[in-house]
Amino acid sequence: MAPTTRPGCYTSHPNEVPVRITTPTSDQVIQMLQASWSVLTDVGARVLAAKFLHETNGGRNCFNWNLGNVKASANQNHMYLRDNLECVASTAVDRIIANSNGNAAALTEEQRQSTRWQGRCSGGNVGVLFQPPSPECRFRAFDSLSDGAAQWVALQQRIAANHSTYVDALNSGNCTAVAHLLRAANYYNAAESSYAAGLQRYLNTMPIDLGEVDNW
């Protein structure tokens, strides 16, 4: 008998798990970073916490303890998230959509102008929305914050090993440089200026988030 799809899952694959909302606080993320990566200063830990917030819509879109919304292969524990945006070359859009089994569509003009998607893709790239069970919607799933954090920190350390100025950029609070180095590492494919602005915005509001100042 063929395996059946479990509740909350899109496939019958044994490594797929249902999506769970998991919301670590900024303070938890900072403490975890400082405990596990000694080269980080307080500023560096805050920049990475801002990175977490930017990539998870202020922490609201953190699922299954995947702090950086890291993609998964089928042989890893994973979940599927709807409406995953990828910025692809305009010359490849038609081919990618045709090969998506109906699980991808280019952003409409209305969507491109919406607050959610505006400015996300640039440089001749086109925004394409993917739906489960497309591999583009498949993300790592972890059992606990400590498991997810260990993977996330290891990823940042690999980036630092390949880009010698990454740690200095973090510790100096230089969000523009951090965004540039992450783009060079092929960590994301959105517009670099938009990513840098998101990092800076969350870094600027970090004192409020941590309760150090009042939110006037």
Q: What is the CATH number of the domain that holds 143?
A: 1.10.530
Which among 131, 153, 171 is the end of a domain? 131
- Per-residue pLDDT tens digits for 132-177: 999 999 999 999 998 998 999 999 999 999 999 999 999 999 999 9
Largest CA distance in the chain: 61
Asked if residue 112 and residue 153 are part of one domain, the reply reads no
Which among 131, 152, 168 is the end of a domain? 131
DSSP labels for 27-53?
Answer: HHHHHHHHHH-TT--HHHHHHHHHHHH
Peptide bond connecting 133 to the previous residue in cis, omega within 30 degrees of 0: yes
Asked if residue 146 and residue 203 are part of one domain, the reply reads yes
Write the DSSP symbol of residue 212. S
Asked if residue 33 and residue 65 are part of one domain, the reply reads yes
- Start-to-end CA span in the chain (Å): 61
Q: Which domain holds residue 200?
A: 26-72+139-209
Instruction: Give this prediction's pTM.
Output: 0.84
Asked if residue 62 and residue 103 are part of one domain, the reply reads no
Asked if residue 146 and residue 96 are part of one domain, the reply reads no
Asked if residue 148 and residue 122 are part of one domain, the reply reads no
Between the CA atoms of 5, 149, 129 and 132, what dihedral angle is there, to the nearest 10 degrees? 0
- Per-residue pLDDT tens digits for 46-84: 999 999 999 998 999 999 999 988 999 999 999 999 999
Is residue 65 situated within a structural domain? yes
Asked if residue 101 and residue 188 are part of one domain, the reply reads no
Question: Structural domain tally of the chain?
Answer: 2
